Structure 1
């Protein structure tokens, strides 16, 4: 399996077109799986701007990425032909915003209250507000309606994990479990998510890749938090309820919104159909954990990081992020990328927008 993954990644790299990126811009929304530094200056425990995070990033610099090197979207931006990763909203400057912005924030959720026990965070509604502020600036940099430019951009949204791990399954901080059954809670999330995704569409987003939830009950922090010896079925079952409803939401958006091309990247299907090689350690973490399951500051991480699935108690290592990005970008399996993968999605509306 490892040889197959390496071969596919090599093929993706081999076919990248030199020169202009495949799309003029790439906008990223999400949580700590996608963040590249938006939380660095916030008053929150959910930040990764200290060692050992970033130990394998160019220069060994902790940037705010919750991993040892690159995020899924960092890899996707490379596959698209961008010569550098998309910068965080907090760093956006001048005409750089024309190539896109990363709005993702650690501990953020679909719901406003999610992750509040850790401190400040930029939940999805706030991310969308930041995006709309960015659009106001972009409209003065492009010829014609700004929507014509945004129609050609790629959008990815990877959020929802915290609504379970830092909300529903933390009854000591949140009343969600007392107020909603798992099915009712999934409906609540989907209802809010529908509105948020429609807002992106109404501002000009047309090519949107949405990531479903992985097997959250198999994350090390949840196994340890529940004093379990294996995956926590209750958490996985709740996440699967959300994923099933998310599939229907994607179908609904594609059917009802003219010109919309939403696609779903199923992380749970990817985990089931392309399990990690046996050599990869998925039972323990690469870094020493502090009480909130993030890395202990300035601790020494494991030496063989490519043989670990998790860097800390929540977040994958670079080797997993690369494999997920490759599958999202080029998997032909409709159980993983439906109705199309990101390569097919961005090939469907070719054409470069004109800007100053």
Structure 2
């Protein structure tokens, strides 16, 4: 991986606690999996939760919140870059007027398909997250007293949707538990996923979303958990078949973005190229520990409860065997917000999307 932006960006954002003035958008709604979950899985009967130490060791206050990181997630940092003084709250706990500024619906182990991740326990699939968003809209209708005001509010918001990794790591590439790899070729599976995803994004549009960032899948074949559980071949440092499969999905996602933008002139959809942002040599920007987790991890890739993590976390790419460190999240969020290379986002970056007048 490489996050080829200046080390200065990391230093500036290391202790960033918000900015002065109004945020770029009035609200920020987040859908996704463990890369964005900030506590929605805490009350669920599941192994996919991170509400215990050493998670959160570098988060403000030093306490575990349910984030699968030593500190902030990429969506936390994006919220700060957008100008929000407070982190967007999880759907699981927040009520009242605070929902006017956005809600985080992300759930660890969740996928586009409802069954993805089921071996880990309860989780909120993308369909479930959309159901929860509908609940939020009904509450916003009540707060703003009419649906016209609510729709006017919602169309100015930024929507972030980053999901699909578990449809591979906790579905397609677990043949002993899921039949999908015996039924579909990687190309067929990517097509089925995109069709379901398209229907879900259309549902989000029908709920009032007009500024939507769709996050591509990263190099999940290079995470320590994938390497240990699936294995590599031909001396490769990554599980090539996993990376090749997710790239089929990403290619179809770019086409979906084009299709959506062609079909809806009153909305804008963008693609964030996580795979490209995560390619290259991380040592060029100061990371020195590339393939090991910072915290001692268990057989499902998460930190062992109360294990002692590494000391120099800013040098590590991976926090546990699946999720990146806060240092990596800063680079990912920075390049998603303001594209460092033309290939980082398509057709525009998140900063430009937020500022669009639709």
The corresponding residue for 1:190 is 194
Q: Distance in 1 between matches of 2:316 and 2:12?
A: 24
The corresponding residue for 1:163 is 167
List per-residue Cα deviations over 1:109-148 (Å, max 9, x = no partner): 0000000000000000000000001000101222634211
The corresponding residue for 2:7 is 6
Question: What is the deviation of 1:334?
Answer: 2.9
Q: Distance in 2 between matches of 1:18 and 1:274?
A: 35
Q: Distance in 2 between matches of 1:167 and 1:276?
A: 32
Q: Unpaired runs of 5+ in structure 1?
A: 351-356
Are 1:284 and 2:292 an aligned pair? Answer: yes
The corresponding residue for 1:91 is 93
Question: What is the deviation of 1:269?
Answer: 1.2
Q: Distance in 1 between matches of 2:40 and 2:4?
A: 35
Q: Distance in 1 between matches of 2:36 and 2:180?
A: 25
The number of aligned residues is: 349
Q: Distance in 1 between matches of 2:59 and 2:212?
A: 27
User: Structure 1 pair 273/302, CA: closer, same or farther in 2 (3 Å)?
Assistant: closer
Question: What is the deviation of 1:275?
Answer: 4.3
Q: Distance in 1 between matches of 2:282 and 2:263?
A: 35
Match of 1:208 among 205, 212, 223: 212
TM-score, normalising length from structure 1? 0.94
Q: Unpaired runs of 5+ in structure 2?
A: none
Question: What is the deviation of 1:19?
Answer: 1.5
Contact 2:55-2:69 within 8 A present in 1 as well: yes
Question: What is the deviation of 1:274?
Answer: 7.3
Question: What is the deviation of 1:5?
Answer: 2.3
Are 1:345 and 2:346 an aligned pair? Answer: no
Q: Distance in 2 between matches of 1:2 and 1:122?
A: 30
Contact 1:332-1:341 within 8 A present in 2 as well: no
Matches within 5 A, 1:37-56: 37-56=39-58
Match of 2:185 among 156, 159, 181: 181
Question: What is the deviation of 1:279?
Answer: 3.6
Q: Distance in 1 between matches of 2:339 and 2:269?
A: 16
Q: Say which SS state the counterpart of residue 49 (structure 1) adopts.
A: coil
List per-residue Cα deviations over 1:267-295 (Å, max 9, x = no partner): 11112367453643111110101121111
Q: Say which SS state the counterpart of residue 107 (structure 1) adopts.
A: coil
Contact 1:284-1:310 within 8 A present in 2 as well: yes
Q: Say which SS state the counterpart of residue 28 (structure 1) adopts.
A: strand
